[in-house]
Amino acid sequence: MSLKLKSTEGRPGYFVLALDGRLDSITAPQLEQMLQYLFAASPRSITFEMTNLAYISSAGLRAILGAYKKLKATGGVCGVLHVPPPIRKILDIAAISPSLNIFASEAEADAYFDGVQSGRIGKKP
């Protein structure tokens, strides 16, 4: 199974990146290439939409955490949205759940990101 990526920019600097398929050592470079493209646009936030993500490996986790760290270093924020239970279990086992912002809806993510950008909400350490 392959990985399909779809990026949307709901408003300037706020990207939602839908992941569909398997995010593993074969497909992680595809995600990293997409992230390079997005970082060229100086994003304020990137939300990984995982509704249709069937599998994630350590290579996929590294790609997502790399985006998180890069955004954090530039004052941006990163999150994940609609995490299927098997993927959530992997995030929990890898102990990266506390680092990532996990949201149930895009509206919840937008409200949080707006609060962080405006200074009303503190960023996670």
pLDDT tens track for 52-89: 999 999 999 999 999 999 999 998 889 999 999 999 99
d(CA 29, CA 13): 23
CATH code of the domain made up of 3-118? 3.30.750.24
Token pair listed for 4: 């399909």
The model carries a pTM of 0.87
**Domain ranges (residues) in the chain:** 3-118
Q: CA–CA distance from 104 to each of 91, 96, 119 (Å)?
A: 15, 17, 22
d(CA 61, CA 67): 10
State mean pLDDT over 34-57.
95
